[in-house]
Structures are given as structure tokens and as C-alpha cells.
Structure 1
Amino acid sequence: MKKKLKLSIALTTYNGSKYIIQLLDSLKKQTLAPDEVIIVDDNSTDSTVEIIKDYIKKYNLINWKVYKNSKNLGWQKNFTKAISKTTGDYIFLADQDDIWYKNKIKKFMECFLRTNAWMVVSDFNVIGNGRSRKTTSMPKINYEIEKDAKKIKFDENYALILRPGCVMAINSVLKRIYLDLWFEKTPHDALLWLIASITNNIYYIDSPSIDFRRTDGNASGSIAHDISFKRNAIIGEKKVNKWYLNSNLVNKKFIKIIRRNTRWNNLRYELLINHKLSSWVRLFKYKDCYKTNKQYLGDLYYYLVSKRNK
């Protein structure tokens, strides 16, 4: 007799009282219901937690659990905490402002069960403060058909995240590796993508599964924040590359690309963290590892800014 697969949702909240009911409604109305919903609140100062508790009580959602941190952990650590609390075979990631389409879990699970995917991602529609949808451009995904599903192709840009965490679902294997490799201030979706990508285990649904709410509060932060993000991304790539090359998962077809990416990352580390300008000149040889020429020039810009502020 086959074991019943357990499906989890990991949701984090912080001062999300304005839109949280819309998300909760969309989770509750899924055509394939989750077996558990884990909600971790990062010490909200508004009524978010009270709204969630009332919702759980109103609909007798005994498999929904909400936890409130005694102090603010920051969104990266908070999401990792939520993921760690899940017990499912498959984990769906949720953001507090979004609205899921009712067949999201069903469509993702159909893809998981047809393949050996560690991660499944989809497209999304964008909405603003209201419910009207906006046009948005998403990075193009190159894929190949495997087992009647779209498998994302491995290439030299494997570390570049092409879809956000709110349209990701992962299996428990990826979860365990992620929890072993995660480090402070690392965005959960970027690291999850990198691990799943380097192991060639991401599948793609080329239709929207949610309305992604984009508000003024979603804007990027300061230059200092951007530099910190770049540094953590470089460190994360170095860490994952090393883990993969020392694992029993290595695909010989990809080793050349990964080793070249490792050399590229080492030079970026020397430039942006050790502040060696000569490394930027040497990076010219690895320009193809950048998605665009603008990103290559961007590394020089961030070097100059961080050097000035050092």
C-alpha cells in the first residue's frame, strides 16, 4: 500500500493585516487541500496574528498552526524557520500579500508526481493595492520536455533565480539540504533555487498560479543593502558549488560549467569582499557568466561604492 503524501504550506507574516484574509481564503479553497499550514509571524505590531487565529478558529482548521516570534528575526531567518517547522513530503511557499488560484497545489503536484523534481515553479500575475492585474515581464525560461513536463535547462546562468519563492514548491530532500547550507541573511528562494538548479531538478509550469501583489513596499532597499545582497549571493554560490562538487550527485556533463562558475565567483569575491580592483579586469574573461553586460559593469559600480564607504 502506497504511503499517502503529506503536503505542507510554509507561510510567513509581518504586519500583514491588510491583505492576509485574501490569502487565507485562497489557501482554504484549494481543490487539493494541504495537510498542514505552518504560519510563522515575525513579531508583528498590528493585528495579523489575531486575525489568523480568529480565522483558524472560525473554520476549525485544526491542521493550521500559527507561531509568533518573541522578537523580530528578519524575513530571511523567519522563512527558514517556517520551512524547518513543516513535516510534509512537499512544501509550498507562501507570501502574505498574494492570492493563490484554487488549482495551484493540484497542478504543482501533478508535475511532481510525473517527474523526479526537487522544485516546481510557475508564472504569476501581478496586482497592485487593488485586484486589477498589471502587465509584467518575467525572465525567459529555457526548458526541455521530459516526462511530459517542462524541465529547466542547465546552463552557465544556473545560479540566476528566474522565479520568486511565492511560486515555488519543493520536496523534502531539497528542504533538508537547504537547512544544512543556509546561513544568516540569505534569501530562502535564492538558495533553494541554486541547490535545485545545480542538481538539475527544477520543472516549470508556464501558466500563472497566483496573483502576486506588488506594492510600494516591495521596492528594493539601499545601496548598502544591495551590496550586502550581492556578497551573500556570492558566498552562497561558493558554498553550494563546493557542496555539489563534493557530493555523490555530480553530473559529469555539468562539471566544466560549475568549475568555471566557481572561478568567476572567486574573482567576484576578491572584488566585492576583499576589494581587489585587479579582479574586475580578470572578470572580463568570464563576462558570459553574467546575464548582461550591465551586471558586469554593476560589479565595478558596487566595488567603487563599497570602497568609498569602507
Structure 2
Amino acid sequence: MPSPLVSVALCTCNGEAYIEAQLASVLAQTHRELELVVVDDASNDRTVEIVEEAARRDHRIQLHRNPRRLGVNANFARAFSLCRGDFIAPCDQDDVWSARKLETLMAAIGDADLAYGDSAVVDSTGRPTGNTLGGQRRMVRGRGNVALAFENSVSGHAALFRNTLLTQALPFPEGVWYDGWLAFAASQRAGVVYVDEVMVDFRRHADAQTRIGHASRGGAPDRHQRRAREARQWLAMSVAALDAAATRPWPGREAAQALSRAITDADAGQRLMPLWQALLRHRRALYGDQALASWMALRLGARIVGRMRRARSPA
């Protein structure tokens, strides 16, 4: 049987420093049935010129340009709408993929809606830092994980998903990153598969557009303020994801609604006991049928309460 077409959705914005290496790594994939859909978000550097030059050499590249800047989520939503493949692989402009990334994820996805792998963290020059994203967080998998609103480990640059997932994932809700939302949607449908293998050199640098950036170089007051701000953002994003999930025809919508209400009330200074009760009552929706679901729900509660306290103590 012919190999399924995979659409690589590459979003760019002022990426001239790194885009050539990423283009080369995508075009060198061992899964040859691919199209590379590039959507440029109103770059004002040489990014478009570099992509146009590559497109003249390889017919698989399509270039689309936004007349005005849309931002990360909206740009990826447009890129996905232009993809023709049965499977879609989001792509950032500043990473480098291993040659077997698409082949490996295609072999692993099975009946699931989304598969993803690990990423090695590199610096702006591509030098390894010795860290991986999988070494810094719990890599989720399976179905029915409302906990993805809090503990999402799926990075778009490391993922492959079915085009049909977009029917339930779009539109992307406000206040939630597109890749975390896709993983949430996949967990509520046919599930998420994790492949414990490094497939991407994930570049961390000062100009990155993603949420994972550099720590502040300031002194203690700056560090405390940054930690308080990050805690507040984490809480806001988690509640936004829960609120959006409560409006979708998903199995976990009742749990999402109850948890959003409990967190909002607790954060407003009301009693914490209803939050703990909601977490335990909906532990199966949070973590599926895992044997340690109760313990994991209590651990999540401690994390939520800790973020609330940190958000109130900027100094």
C-alpha cells in the first residue's frame, strides 16, 4: 500500500537565522510522502527569500504569506487548514528533526489520534545542553486525561496527529497554547501515544516564540516576581483549558467544569476543601484508570495550591 501523505506545517516569523537547517532536516525525512506547508507570519527579514529559494529546488514546499501578523496559535490554525495529508506534523522554524522522526511516529501512532516523542535541548548554536524535555517532566500518554489541562508534556514540534482531530480541536480557545490543546483533544478521543526516543533538537534561545524561554538574569526580586507571574499564568491557562473543554462534547467535560469552578473559588480565597474533594471525585477523568489515580490527584492538588500561594507572593 502507498505511504500516507504527511503534511508538515511549518510556521515562520523572522526566522532567517535558523530556517535553512530546519528546512533541510524536514526534506531529509525517511518518510518521503510529505508536503511542507510553510506559512510566514509577516516576516521582515530574509525568511521568505530563503524558503522561496528552497521551494525552487523541491516541489514539496508550499509557501503562504500572511499580510499581517496573526500570532502563534492563529498562524498554526491557518497552516493546518492548508494541509492535505491524513496526518499533520507541526514544525517550528528553529529546531532540527532527526531523519526518522516522521517514520517513527507514523509507526507508533496506531489507532491513536496523536503520537509524540522526546526532544533534546540545545542552545542557540545547536550545542547540546545535556537535557531533554522528557527528563524534566512526566510524559503523558493514554486516554481520558483531563490532567492535561495542568500537566501537558506534548510539544507541537515533537508531535504527529490525525487531520480528523481538527474537527474537535478547532477553533483553538483563547489563553491556551495550540499544542497543549491538540493533546487535550486527542486524549478525549482515541488517545495519545508517547515514544521514548529523542527526535528533535529543540533550540532554546532569547528570540524563541514559544512559551519555553530563558530564566530572568535579574536578582532575587526579579526572580520572585517572575515566579509569581509564571504561577499566575499557569493557573490562568489551566482554567482556560478546563473552561474550553467543558464546552466540547468530550467525556471529561463534567470533570473540567467542576475543577474549573473549584479552582476559581479556591483562588478567590474560599475554602480549599471543595478543591480537594473535586480532584478526588474526578480522579478517573483526570488520570484514566491508572492505579495511582488518587495519589496523583492529591499531588496535583498540592501543585495547584502551591501555585496559588506563589502567585500571591511576588516578593
Do Structure 1 and Structure 2 share a fold, with TM-score over 0.5? yes
User: Partner amino acid for 2:275?
Assistant: L
Q: How far apart, CA to CA, are the structure 1 residues paired with 2:153 and 2:180?
A: 9
Distance 1:152 1:161, change over 3 A: same
1:207 pairs with 190, 194, 197, which one?
Answer: 197
Preserved contact between residue 100 and residue 211 of structure 1 (Cα < 8 Å) = yes
Distance 1:155 1:189, change over 3 A: closer
Find the counterpart in structure 2 of residue 298 from structure 1: 307
Find the counterpart in structure 1 of residue 90 from structure 2: 93
Distance 1:265 1:289, change over 3 A: farther
2:159 pairs with 168, 174, 184, which one?
Answer: 168
What are the Cα deviations for residues 101-142 of structure 1, in whole angstroms up to 9, with x where unaligned?
001111111123xx2110001011111122321222232336
- SS across alignment from 1:33: coil
Preserved contact between residue 174 and residue 240 of structure 2 (Cα < 8 Å) = no
- SS across alignment from 1:116: coil
1:186 pairs with 159, 176, 186, which one?
Answer: 176
Give 5+ residue unaligned stretches, structure 1.
143-150, 306-310
State the Cα distance separating 1:300 from its structure 2 match: 4.1
State the Cα distance separating 1:11 from its structure 2 match: 0.8
State the Cα distance separating 1:235 from its structure 2 match: 2.5
Distance 1:203 1:267, change over 3 A: same
Preserved contact between residue 262 and residue 275 of structure 2 (Cα < 8 Å) = yes
Find the counterpart in structure 2 of residue 44 from structure 1: 43
User: Partner amino acid for 2:83?
Assistant: T
Preserved contact between residue 145 and residue 187 of structure 2 (Cα < 8 Å) = no
Number of equivalences: 278
Find the counterpart in structure 2 of residue 73 from structure 1: 70
What are the Cα deviations for residues 244-291 of structure 1, in whole angstroms up to 9, with x where unaligned?
34xxxx4xxxx6xx644431212224456xxx3216564244563663
Find the counterpart in structure 2 of residue 126 from structure 1: 121
Q: 1:263 and 2:254 equivalent?
A: no
Give 5+ residue unaligned stretches, structure 2.
208-212, 217-225, 280-296
Find the counterpart in structure 1 of residue 100 from structure 2: 103
Q: How far apart, CA to CA, are the structure 1 residues paired with 2:303 and 2:168?
A: 33
Identity of aligned residues (%): 21
Find the counterpart in structure 2 of residue 148 from structure 1: none
Q: How far apart, CA to CA, are the structure 1 residues paired with 2:69 and 2:309?
A: 34
Find the counterpart in structure 2 of residue 17 from structure 1: 16
Q: How far apart, CA to CA, are the structure 1 residues paired with 2:158 and 2:90?
A: 7
Q: How far apart, CA to CA, are the structure 2 residues paired with 1:244 and 1:204?
A: 25
Q: How far apart, CA to CA, are the structure 1 residues paired with 2:177 and 2:60?
A: 27
Q: How far apart, CA to CA, are the structure 2 residues paired with 1:184 and 1:242?
A: 13
Q: TM-score, structure 1 length as denominator?
A: 0.79
- SS across alignment from 2:249: helix
Distance 1:184 1:208, change over 3 A: same
- SS across alignment from 2:104: helix
Q: How far apart, CA to CA, are the structure 1 residues paired with 2:239 and 2:122?
A: 32
Root mean square deviation of aligned Cα? 2.8
What are the Cα deviations for residues 117-171 of structure 1, in whole angstroms up to 9, with x where unaligned?
10001011111122321222232336xxxxxxxx536556243211211101110
Q: How far apart, CA to CA, are the structure 2 residues paired with 1:14 and 1:44?
A: 5
Distance 1:168 1:105, change over 3 A: same
Preserved contact between residue 76 and residue 188 of structure 1 (Cα < 8 Å) = yes
- SS across alignment from 1:152: coil
